[in-house]
Amino acid sequence: MRIALVLAALLAAGGFKARGFSLPDGAVKVDEDRYRLPQTWEDTLRWYRSVYPPAKYPRSTLRNNAGIRSIHIENRTAGSEWEGANVYETPKGEVRIFVLAREEPKPRAGK
């Protein structure tokens, strides 16, 4: 049973990606690096726990504004396109994701 869950998570992780960040089936792009998900908040969190384990991808709660639930998933993997992702639920119950692009290192100015 556990092997089936891990296999399902790996297959799901191979789907649609934004800047290398995995999005579940049914994700719809609503703006640059912003996506709407058809899943519930709880299902979304469960899915991301399986795809991005909290031990490797730490989470933090974002400041709550007007009843919006939100978390930040941090990516510490060097060389990846995404630095983090904000997962949030709107007051209407829509789950959305904002993928934060990793900034390019600025070249050092020579003396």
107 vs 31, more confident? 31
CB 62 within 8 A of CB 70: yes
Q: If you average pLDDT over residues 80-99, what whole number do you get?
A: 95
Mean pLDDT of the chain: 85
pLDDT of residue 76 exceeding 90, the answer is yes
Q: What element of type H or E holds 65?
A: none
The pTM score is: 0.77
Residues constituting the chain:
111
CB 51 within 8 A of CB 10: no
Across the beta sheet with 82-89, what order do the strands follow?
Answer: 28-31, 34-37, 95-101, 82-89, 69-74, 59-61
